[in-house]
Amino acid sequence: MMKMKQSFLVKVCLLSLLVILTGAQLFAQKVTGVVVDDSNTPLPGVTVVVKGTTNGTITDAEGRFSIVPGDPKNDILSFSFVGLETKEIKINGEKVINVQLKSSILEVEEVVAIGYGVVKKRDLTGSVSSVKSDDVSKATSSNAMQAMQARVPGLDIQQSDGQAGAALKMTLRGHRSLTDEANNPLILVDGVEYGSTLDINPSDIESMDILKDVSSTAIYGTRGANGVILITTKHGKAGKTKVSFSAYLSSNSPTNVPQVMYGDKEVQRLTDKANYQADAVTGNYGTSNLTTEQVLTESLADFTEIGIYQDKSYTNWLDLILQNGLTQNYEVSVAGGNDKTTFNFSLGKMYDEGLMKDDKMDRYNVKVNLDSKISNIFKVGTNMLFTYKNHDARNSSVFGQAMKMTTISHAYTAEGVLIPNPNPRYAAHCNPLLDEVDGAYKNNAESTRFFGNAYMEITPMKNLTFKTMFALDRSNIRTGIYQDYQSVARFQSPTTSYISSEYENKTGYTWDNTLNYTTKFGSTKHELTGLLGQSMKQDLYEENITQGEAGKEHYYTSLFYDLSKITTETSTSKYVKSSMMSYFGRLNYKYDEKYLLTASLRSDGSSVLAKGHKWGYFPSTAIAWRASEESFLKSTSWLNNLKARASWGISGNAIVDPYSTLTTLSNSSVYYYLGATNISGNIPSVMGNTDLTWEKTASLDFGFDFGILNNRISGSVDYYISHTSDLLYRKSAPASSVYPSVLANIGKTKGHGLEVALNTLVAKTKNFSWDVNWTYSTSTDEITELSDGVTRNISGTTGQIVGEPVLIYYDYESDGCWGVGEYATYKADWATRHPGGTIAYASAYGAPGTIKIVDRNDDGNLTDDDKKVYNRSPKHIFGMNNSFTYKDFSLSVLLYARLGGYIAYDMNTQLNYESANWGDLDYWTPTNLNAKFPSPGAASTTFASYGSALKYEKADFFKIKDITLAYNLPKNLLSRASIERLKVYGSLKNFFTFSGIDNYDPERGGSISFPLSKQVVVGVNIEF
Amino acid sequence: MKNNLYIILAAMALIMGTPSCTDYLDEDNKAGATADLAYSTVSGIQGLVSSCYSFSRAWYGKEAGLGLSEMGTDLFYYGYDNKQKSLNSYNISSVSLDGNESDNACLDQYWEAFYCAVDVCNTALKYVPLNTLIGEKVQNQYMGEAYFMRAFYYLHMVNIWGAIPYNSEPPTTIVTDPTRVPEEVVYGNILSDLDKSIAAFQTANYMIKTDGRANYWASRALKARTLLYAASWLGKNSITSNSDYSGKDLYALAKAEAEAVIGSGVASFYDNYADTWSMNNEDVTKNKEAIWGVTYSSDISTNVNCIPYRYRTEASGKQMSYNGLITRTGYTRGGSAMLLMFVSMWNNGATDLGGNGKETFVRVLGATTSTITNIKTGAVVDVAATYSPYGRGFTRYLPSVYLWKLLDKYRATDQRTNATLLEAYTIAPGLEKSSKLYPNIQDTAIYYCPLDGNSTAGKAKQAWAKGRYRIQFLNNGDIPVFTSSDPATALPTEAAKAKSDVYGDARYNSYKISGWCSYPGIKKFLDNVYNSTYPTNDISYRDAIVMRLAEMYLIKAEAELGTGNSSNALATLNELRAKRAITGKDNSLSGTVDINTILDERAIELCGEQQRWFDLKRTKTLVSRVKAYNAQGAANIKDIHYYRPIPQAQLDAVTNLSTIVGTGFWQNAGY
């Protein structure tokens, strides 16, 4: 009631003012002055208006203005400029009025991007985390998504290999879909779907907002079930033109490289192996005592094994193949504008080197953002990004080849000539350095991408905005591969050169139309915002591949560029089109700044789904209560903010390949030789599912945000429960009905989890502050149903089991190795336990020094029933980001831990029985009975059947991901050189990792080729 | 305000206007074809019919198909690097090992492959009659081929698994509660298909074997085999569901079919049995003895010999590959792997002969590895032509003591011993005396002697060989191949001697000289003609002969035995043996013929040709013969092994799984 009265009074006052002003026009008197900004720079283009009139002017290039007010005594001059605080000054008879306009940015409340709009953070009803530009710009990876790791609770980001331009794996709030790619969050840049490898200069990114709960994501309907990441790029701000430059150099060196046996250790293994084999003949283990001379009998023309042993001229193949890489990154941007038009141009260049020769990427980015207000009604703008990438990749088998290669060998002859097959024990084992011969191997991808949109905003009346945006995403990728017949891939077989050239075109367009309306009523206590929208999206993919053998010739210079060198050419092509159409609406309602309600509904139609099942409806709703605004809490001085939130909704997922609902023939030809001709045919391959429809996830989210002790401690806590149904998966059908996998909606999963984000300002004095950002999340998921009462669907060591987590390994459990005579005792005991039963282990099973597998059901047979479930998902993810500042110095330390879950560590099966090197593993000998790994002398039979059981390792790790020390040069020093800001910094990235696995970073998820790098970074940021 | 109104109206029109393109969400697959369209063309239907054959390449000429059809029998032991050891030692389970290439019976993938193969035949049977462009004659020929191939695949399946779901049409829905059709019914269907095939070929007058297609005589030959299988496995009057055969003596019918094929002249014998296996005669359309086989193109550098992809897809929808034991070289190049299967570790395991950089044996990889320097004379010797035919030492299979002795028994009179057994490796001409440890080496480098090394004759052989070549005896001696000469207990030796008894040095101190790495091989499938373009010999374009004339004699003899006419059976066997006799020698048999006589003859004639396991199964001698002749499998084999296990992947996916044999979908007993 009070407020209503007040606003009424204001209106009356304004009205009377207006009356007075029109009457006062007669007393003409000029007022002049200069308008400057924060840094006392004159501001051109500032609108100066006599308040309440149409009498106005604009400041000139020097910021000067001149105006004749109607009433020099009582008139009020209003100075306004986009991006700056509007200032009103009563003239009071003054003839000169100089004004300083302050930047309005700092004062504006933090806003958060949500689907098709932004809201003030305080008005948010859903669960959204944000990473701001300062943190994003710390990324020194070719993929800026890296910046989110350890900073967003609930988001699990993993990097599995250290190749230049390597992709990241991302999951938000655990796994709910059964396929890996279906769990990828939707990533939008400036409102348009982009993809997960972000080729954008980190300094061009304004914010990354991660929409987690379904009330936030449901507005994206079928694409929102796995979370949405909104990336907003920087736009220009009116005012002085700002030029910024940033550059860094990063020296990348291999870290946590899995180790193989080197030198004497490998010799010892060969000796142990020979002794075991001699013992096996006599049956008396531990008696044979062969000398090194008796074991190292192999040789090549250039060396003998025993010679290498004697002069210790072993070869460390991993050292030969790995190098230190250097990454250089440069970014320049120019941003500015006036109150009508703002711009942001930027240019970026990155040169990224991996840890192997010829593993490198070059990237150029050009970005233009323009916004222009044509009139009070029309506004237009554009965001355009052009990227060029040139990427050389290495053959992934080379690293494996280097690990397998025996160290008792030489890579080069004494004359320095490369030895093509340096393994005296296995001639077909070629030298991994073959690919480093100039021109012997090339895998080059050259790509260009235009990613841009243009929009028009129409505001026909107050509070109503119509926006139409058209976005075009077009990329061309040419991937050329040349493998010389003397390269690793071709050396052993088929000993011919190979050429492949692939051209891909991707075209996507998005057309969004939205209508926004905001109103306040009931004397502004009620605030209502409505959104109505429609969107169309189409993606087209075309591909042409030409490939084939090129005979036994070197094409070191023409590589894959000359396709006429292909002797037997095959070409294939692809054409894939998918379309989507959507309608959506959202309502935000706020009452009295305390009670918030959001409701949305989206309807999506997709071409990839079956006729009659194409459309899906995705509702959501959320409520929030800003308890701290209540009068009974307002006086609580220690409590600054308290908001409780709850949301519910349904979002969808349609990771379906186009044409999955149509029965089609395989597009790869089948051949058969009849009548001296290879006749090609096409056979059925896909049975279309005419019932295919959306995968749906319904979730509940409860959360609260708080700030206490003058906001020194603030944060939010979220708990969610989600149920996913109609899971899209290749349903395992009986092979007897021909199609063993049919894409179908097959089952259900559920998940729940807790997320905590906490910001604590530990210390703050004049010169020193210490701020800690904490993130923690835990999640659990489970398959609750598979189709038709089927309870499991296993393929190899992975698959699905009802009642178990979504991501599992399903395999035997190993329990060390059999000792001498132990198996006989075991069998006798078993026979006693099972009178009349017969034991049915594999024939070679049980030999001394071979893997012991746990017969979990003790039935004397090793079958699927003896396998164990290994959960692959982490239980806890923890991040802690410390920021210390002391005067002009700042130091940040980012800690990251991922606990729980198993990985299948490939190194544990790096047991190449006969002819190659082994991983540095603790193996069984008659004097080392408790070893995990089998004797190198034992037959590989048991290992071949059950070796994968050795793989599973707990994936827990803790790492100090980033330590950055920065120095901001003092302002007074800089202003003389008209530099606004100059920061120099140095970082250590990925230097310290602690885990239960030696020489390995479990973040990689088990794979061993292409190790990760640790980086030493030095960089500079300058703003003019 | 009016302007504003127009703008709003325009905006509304935009929003409302878009859905008017009603086909916006329709799909049109431009780069993929649909069956109706593709198979109505001449090339499309021709491609479909030829694709019916493609799946046969997954079994014939491939490691896993060989393992399932020939191994775990009385004829072969597994060698050192065998990839199906548990199959051979009967530790086989239903677990679907899918892509595992280290020890995998591959039954899960064959279960899939055969159902896909049948589906392609069913698709052909559906679309050939609908194609109006090819004419009636070609239509009949195509129908004959498709019926033949469907019968061919089902014959394999029913022999492997027994009662199986039987698809007679392309599926329209997924059947999750399949029915296991009794074996007798499946056999009845196979015979019915073959009769339709024979009739169709007759109408088309398609009775030739010039282009590798099935034809009238191929169908009759397969019918002879099918009748014999049914008679021996199910009983001579076992077929009841197919009225054409109900109550008839299947042996008599088998005999008639075999005689008809023999009399047709579609195939004839070579005077020299080895010519049947010469790479020069590998083409089944030209090989005189061949009736029908699986073809491989001589183009082994492209994918034209590859088998089809699986119908099973990855989660991404990408079609999956069959594993390497079935594809051999994946999907970029294909061919037969038979040349690799029976070869011992001849080049890697010969450090006693050369080594220390002074090799006598190398695998020919190309120009750089086709010469060896003679350590005595310094001459550079071109070895490619000599060594290329040995291929690569894959050490997958070695002949059992039973087979070695059986072939040895007729060495003096029968051509087949020498044409089958690879008992000696020779070194390339020009390398004489070029071995430090065997200073008197001439042409022979390694000799596998079927004697007891401790016998007088053996000792004499050893004395002669000393310093000349490496000699390995069947058993005993310095480096025996087997632990014993008793076929029931003999196992390949797995380790060699730290110190040689004969030489007193450590030349044999390598597992590579033990019996399961170093043994007499089987010659039949070697690429015995050096090809400089593909010297690596990791794949071959040798066609796989599936049916040849000799088998018709063996079918006839067994059918005669089955109808109680043992003396006719002996005469038929001797007719065949006469063709195989060394000129001027008498290799004929005498006495009473029983099933063992037939099986011995089949072993001599057909060993390695992917029939043995089925022969032992259907004659119900599998268990007794493995116990008597294969110590690697003897311990575990039992009656349950007459059927292979239904793959776990199938069991996991059905909704009518039952534990009672004969109801719902049951697993074969004992698995």
Return the pLDDT at B269. 97
Residue B483 clears pLDDT 50, i.e. is over it: yes
How would residue A436 be classed by pLDDT, with cut points 50, 70 and 90? Answer: very high
CB within 8 Å of chain B, chain A residues 940-999: 940-941, 943-945, 947
Least confident of A641-645, A651-655, A805-809, B375-379: A651-655
Q: Are A738 and B311 within 8 A, CB to CB? A: yes
Q: What rounded mean pLDDT belongs to chain B?
A: 92
- Evaluate if residue A17 carries a pLDDT over 70: no
| Cβ-defined contact of B319 to A666 (cutoff 8 Å) | yes
How many CB contacts within 8 angstroms connect chain A with chain B? 347
Who wins on pLDDT, A552 or B142? Answer: B142
What is the model's pTM?
0.78
Q: In terms of residues, how long is chain B? A: 671
CA distance B471 to chain A (A): 20
Task: With cut-offs at 50, 70 and 90, classify the pLDDT of residue A731.
Answer: confident
- Beta strands A117-120 and A128-132 are unpaired
Residue A280, chain B, CB below 8 Å: the answer is yes
Distance CA B601, CA B409 (A): 12
Mean pLDDT of all residues in A269-297: 88
State how far the Cα of A411 lies from the Cα of B153, in Å rounded to an integer. 51
Are A939 and B34 a contacting pair at CB < 8 A? no
Q: Has residue B214 got a pLDDT over 70?
A: yes
Residues B620-645: tens digit of each pLDDT: 999 999 999 999 999 889 999 999 99
Please check the confidence at residue A7 and state whether its pLDDT lies above 50. Answer: no
Lowest mean pLDDT segment, chosen from A340-344, A393-397, A405-409, B150-154: A393-397
Residue B141, min C-alpha distance to chain A (Å): 14
Q: Are the CB atoms for A433 and A441 separated by under 8 Å?
A: no
pLDDT confidence of residue A28: 59
Q: How confident is the model at residue A24 (pLDDT cuts 50, 70, 90)?
A: very low
* Least CB–CB distance from A605: residue in B8, B25, B313: B25
Cα dist from A1006 to A356, A906, A907, A983, A1011, whole Å: 20, 6, 8, 39, 11
Please answer yes or no on whether B355 and A299 come within 8 Å at the CB atom: yes
- Is the pLDDT confidence value at A105 over 60? no
Vertex B545 angle, CA B544 and B551, to 5°: 150
| Structure-token match 């490898």, residue found | A197
Confidence bin at B536 (pLDDT 50/70/90): low
Cβ neighbours of residue B42 closer than 8 Å, sequence gap 6 or more: B131, B133, B134
Q: Check residues B522 and A943 and name the one with the higher pLDDT.
A: B522
Cβ within 8 Å, pair B538-A493: yes
Note the residue count of chain A.
Answer: 1024
Predicted pLDDT at A23:
42
B238 or A654, which is more confident? B238
From chain B, the residues in CB contact with A481 under 8 A are none
Q: Which of B50, B85, B536 lies closest to A679 in CB terms? A: B50
- Predicted local distance difference test score (pLDDT) of residue A130: 87
Say yes or no for a CB contact (<8 Å) between A665 and B32: yes
Q: Is A26 on the interface with B (CB under 8 A)?
A: no
Number of separate helices (H) and strands (E) present in chain B: 23, 13
What is the tens place of the pLDDT at every residue in A813-851? 999 999 999 999 999 999 999 998 888 787 678 999 999
Reported as a pLDDT band with limits 50, 70 and 90, residue A109 is: low
B93 neighbors B111 (Cβ within 8 angstroms): no
Q: Phi, psi at residue B554, to the nearest 5°?
A: -70, -35
Helix pair angle (B595-606, B549-562), 10° resolution: 170
Prediction ipTM score: 0.94
| pLDDT at residue B3 greater than cutoff 70 | no
Q: Which of B112, B210, B308 faces A683 most closely, judged by CB atoms? A: B308
Contacts of A294 in chain B (CB under 8 A): 498, 506, 509
pLDDT, residue A781, reads 93
Q: Is A674 in the B-facing interface, judged by CB distances under 8 Å? A: yes
**Residue of chain A minimizing CA distance to B317:** A657
Rounded to the nearest angstrom, the minimum Cα separation between A142 and chain B is 26
pLDDT averaged over every residue in chain A: 88
Q: pLDDT tier at A799 (50, 70, 90 boundaries)?
A: confident
Whether B343 contacts B446, CB under 8 Å: no
CA–CA separation, A93 vs A726, rounded Å? 75
* Residue A734 sits at the chain B interface (C-beta within 8 Å): yes
Facing A737 at nearest CB: one of B14, B174, B647 = B174
Burial environment of residue A947 by CB neighbours within 10 A (0 to 12, 13 to 18, 19 or more):
buried
**A135 or A770: which carries more pLDDT confidence?**
A770
Cα B11 from Cα B62, distance rounded (Å)? 66
Return the pLDDT at B29: 76
Beta-carbon separation of B312 and A741 below 8 A: yes
Which of B91, B128, B314, B369 is best to mutate for the A interface (most A CBs within 10 A)? B91
Q: Decide if A466 and B11 are in contact by the 8 Å CB cutoff.
A: yes
Tell me the residue type at A885: T
Q: Do A277 and B495 touch (CB under 8 A)?
A: yes
Task: Using pLDDT thresholds of 50, 70 and 90, give the confidence band for residue A977.
Answer: confident
| Conformational region of residue A296, where left means phi above 0, alpha means psi within -120 to 50, and beta covers everything else | beta
- What is residue A4's predicted lDDT score, i.e. its pLDDT? 43
Q: What is the least distance, in Å, from the CA of A614 to any CA of chain B?
A: 8
Which residue of A736, A798, A866 is the best one to mutate when testing the B interface, meaning the one whose CB has the most B CBs within 10 A?
A: A736
Tell me: pLDDT of A275 over 70. yes
Of B282, B436, B652, B656, which to mutate for an interface test with A (greatest number of A Cβ within 10 Å)?
Answer: B652
Is the per-residue pLDDT at B213 higher than 90? yes
* A25: pLDDT strictly greater than 50: no
Between residues B576 and A139, which one has the greater pLDDT? B576
pLDDT at B658 over 80: yes
Look at residue A21 in the predicted model and tell me its pLDDT: 43
Provide DSSP, B610-658. Answer: S-HHHHHHHTT-HHHHHHHH-HHHHTT--GGGGSPPPPHHHHHH-S-EE
Q: Which one of A294, A614, A670 has the shortest CB-CB distance to B509? A: A294
Contact B536 A940 (CB under 8 A): no
Per-residue model confidence as pLDDT tens digits over A329-360: 999 999 999 889 999 999 999 999 999 999 99
Q: Provide the residue type at B209 as one letter.
A: K
Instruction: Specify the pLDDT at position A181.
Output: 67
Sole residue written with tokens 């299947």: B250
Residues in A 524-553 with any Cβ partner in B closer than 8 A: 532, 534, 536, 548-549, 552
CA distance A642 to chain B (A): 40
Give the per-residue pLDDT at A166: 78
pLDDT, tens digit (0-9, with 9 covering 90-100), for A86-100: 888 888 888 888 888
Q: Which range scores top for mean pLDDT: A93-102, A282-291, A746-755?
A: A746-755
A842-897 pLDDT, tens digit each: 767 899 999 999 999 998 888 888 999 999 999 999 999 999 999 999 999 999 99
Residue A442: beta bridge partners? A482
Confidence at B18, pLDDT banded by 50, 70, 90: low
Q: Which candidate in A606, A737, A812, A946 is best for mutational testing of the B interface (most B CBs within 10 A)?
A: A737
Contact A743 B317 (CB under 8 A): yes
Query: Model confidence over B133-157: pLDDT tens digits?
Result: 999 999 999 999 999 999 999 999 9
Interface mutation vs chain B, best among A295, A305, A671, A945, most B CBs within 10 Å: A671
Of A916, A954, A952, A947, nearest in space to A933 by CA:
A947
Contact criterion met (CB < 8 Å) for B176 and A788: yes
User: CB A673 to CB B495 under 8 A?
Assistant: no
Q: Name every residue whose Cβ is closer than 8 Å to that of residue B514 and which is 6 or more positions away in sequence.
A: B80, B479, B492, B493, B494, B495, B496
What is the per-residue pLDDT for A895?
A: 94
Q: What is the pLDDT of residues B364-413, one digit of tens each?
A: 766 556 888 888 888 999 998 899 888 888 999 999 999 999 999 999 99
% of residues, chain B, pLDDT over 70: 95
B167 and A737: CB-CB below 8 Å?
A: yes
Q: Which residues in chain A have Cβ-Cβ distances shorter than 8 Å to B306?
A: 671
The distance of B356 to chain A (nearest Cα, Å) reads 5
